[in-house]
Chains A and B, each alone.
Chain A
Amino acid sequence: MNPWGFVQVALALLLSPLLIGVINRTKAFVAGRRGTPLLQLYHDAAKLLRKGAVYSRTTTWVFRAGPIVALAATLGTLPFLPAGGLRAVLWFDGDLLVVIALLGVARFLTVLAALDTGSSFEGMGASREVTFSALAEPALLLGLAAMGREVGSLSLSDMSSGLTAAKWFQAAPAMMLAAAALLVVFLAENARVPVDDPNTHLELTMIHEVMVLDHGGPDFGVILYGSALKLWVLGTLLVNASLPVRTSSVAIDAAAFLAGMLALAVLTGLIESAMARLRLAHIPQLLVGATALSVLAIILVLR
């Protein structure tokens, strides 16, 4: 137990929508626009939560449970999530599997809710989401496993606080490969640009947006907030793996972690400004490529 971990949980709850604001602001800046306010997502979620919801008569309780359970599962990962050198609230050997499984539960319920609408269109999105996440998960697991092997523990807190700068640079090639694989997973799982375009509402290209089309009002607000939290969770895993600032001072560690998250949001915005979305047929290639990077990282640390 680490009671200070609750501060990190509170920060994640408070700041996660801000990351999306930073990404959108970066994109607007590169495009020469002024862009939406940084706090736009807070306003959107607050507005949606005050509205009423309309449910189709073909849907069942699964449709209503989807967003709530998905948010609950994502919230459940937060106590296990260390921030840089700072330990999480709870940790035990193998808790990284708990985090990944909870993210899987969130995805499963979102997919079920999409299928529950009976719309063939949402089924298409669900099928894509499941296909791509099945390809992204090995990259994520193997990338974290490479880190765990280097540090000698399968607990996220031990892995993160044990990954000192000296250790990181000693295995620099492997750590860079793992970080690159985690970046691809981060972009794919959060429906960011090379895989999915969060802005487009063109039917043929959407993945994540398709599945939540029939949700409205408070349900949609919960979905928006849940996806911001998921961005924070996967971003934390990536920043922990790629930014080895581990001093004895809590203030420096926390500042480095928050700066890392901010830099990650800016980087995502830059990637989205510089790249176009990949063709759907090429996305599996990208994700299998990320898995290849993870496997290479594991081979390097096992050697």
Chain B
Amino acid sequence: MTNLIEVVLVLVVLTDFFLLGSSRLAACIRIVAIQGVVLGTLPVLGHLDNLTLRLVFLAVGSAALKAVVFPILLFRAMREANVRHEIEPFVGFIASILIGLGSLAVSVWVASRITLPRPVVSSLVLPVALFTILAGLFVIVSRRKALTQVLGYIVLENGIYVFGMVLVGEIPMLVELGALLDAFVAVLVMGIAIDHISRSYDHIDVDELDTLRG
């Protein structure tokens, strides 16, 4: 099963790179949804020998939230704000991919220095979790459009999910559901905020938000 888990983790890294290198918002939303589905399989694959109903429920729940509810909300925000492309990000797309490569190397190095309290299913888990967190953070700070920043936030949350899911293993269900609910509320609130920003400013470019209008 380790091999299958590694395939899943590599897919997560690839979706991160796609997000770093693509300017089309619709494609970015879809790729983040795909990342959600791929991540949903991770707890099931990690505990195939002692599969419980709780795990399956959690996997299906998070996959449904990330692959169905989030994309619907984000596509609606995209339609109402009438944006299609991330134009002129603070850091260009090619530079973003190169910085992504650098942070992947850093994640691998950092992960090799950390001693874990318990053995993990694959030595790839920790670097991928760290890299996904870094990629999400980087998307948040380097893009102009509020929508892309929301995507960065979801990816950041996904990274923490990988970290917790395979590393800690037995998180109480209530905490898991609480984290999922947090993410859900955050995306909902940000969707509403995007709508309001685009209504009052005719765009969702957050760089313009530092000037006041009467």
Query: Which partner residue on chain B sits nearest A295 by CB separation?
Result: B101
Chain A nearest CB from B69 CB (Å) reads 29
Q: Which residues of the partner chain B approach A293 to less than 8 Å between Cβ atoms? A: 14
A288 within 8 A of B: yes
Asked whether any CB of chain A lies closer than 8 Å to the CB of B188, the reply is no
Q: Is the CB of A172 within 8 A of B7?
A: yes
Closest to B8 in A: A173
A303 and B124 in contact, given A173-B10, A285-B93 (Cβ under 8 angstroms): yes
Q: Mark B1-31, 1 if CB is under 8 A from A, else 0.
A: 0010011001001100100010000000000
Quick one: which of A100-134 are within 8 Å of B by CB?
A: none
Interface residues of B in 21-55 (CB under 8 A from A): 21
Task: Report A-chain residues with C-beta under 8 Å of the C-beta of B123.
Answer: 303
Could you tell me the distance between the alpha carbons of A293 and B17 in the complex, rounded to whole angstroms? 9
Q: Given known contacts A173-B6, A285-B94, A296-B10, is B108 in contact with A303 (CB within 8 Å)?
A: yes
Closest to A177 in B: B10
A216 on interface, CB distance cutoff 8 Å: no
Q: Is the CB of A284 within 8 A of B94?
A: yes
Which B residues lie within 8 Å of A49 (CB)? none
A166 within 8 A of B: no
B74 part of interface (Cβ distance < 8 Å): no
Interface of A is mostly: helix
Q: Mark B156-181, 1 if CB is under 8 A from A, else 0.
A: 00000000000000000000000000
By the criterion CB–CB under 8 Å, are A292 and B7 in contact?
no
The reply to whether A288 and B108 form a contact with Cβ atoms under 8 Å apart is no
* A299 lies within 8 A of B108 (CB): yes
- State in angstroms the CA–CA spacing of A300 and B3 once bound together: 12
Number of CB contacts from chain A to chain B under 8 A: 43
Contacts of A292 in B (CB 8 A): 17, 21, 97, 100-101
In the complex, are the beta carbons of A288 and B10 less than 8 A apart? Answer: no
A79 within 8 A of B: no
Q: What residues of A have a CB within 8 angstroms of the CB of B104 in the complex?
A: 295-296, 299
Q: Closest B residue to A173 by CB, please name it.
A: B10
Residues of A contacting B108 in the complex (Cβ-Cβ under 8 angstroms): 299, 303
B13 touches A296 (CB 8 A): yes
Q: Is B105 an interface residue (CB 8 A)?
A: yes
Most chain B CB within 10 A, of A292, A293, A303, is at: A292
Known: A299-B104, A299-B108, A303-B123. A289 touches B10 (CB 8 A): no
Q: Does B98 contact A (CB under 8 A)?
A: yes
Residue of B10, B94, B108 with most partner-chain A CB within 10 A = B10
Q: Mark B92-117, 1 if CB is under 8 A from A, else 0.
A: 01100110110011001000000000
Chain A residues whose CB sits within 8 angstroms of the CB of B97 once the complex forms: 285, 288-289, 292
A289 — which chain B residues lie within 8 A by C-beta? 17, 21, 97
Q: Which residues on B sit within 8 Å (CB–CB) of A291? A: 101
Top 5 closest A-B pairs, CB basis? A173-B10, A288-B97, A288-B94, A292-B17, A295-B101
Footprint of A on B, CB under 8 Å? 3, 6-7, 10, 13-14, 17, 21, 93-94, 97-98, 100-101, 104-105, 108, 123-124, 127
Query: Residues on A close to B: CB < 8 A?
Result: 172-173, 177, 284-285, 288-289, 291-293, 295-296, 299-300, 303
Known contacts A285-B21, A288-B94, A293-B14; 6 further A-B pairs (Cβ under 8 A): A172-B7, A288-B98, A291-B101, A292-B21, A296-B14, A300-B6
| Sample of 14 A–B contacts (CB below 8 Å) | A173-B3, A284-B94, A285-B21, A289-B17, A289-B97, A291-B101, A292-B100, A293-B14, A295-B101, A296-B17, A296-B104, A299-B104, A300-B10, A303-B123
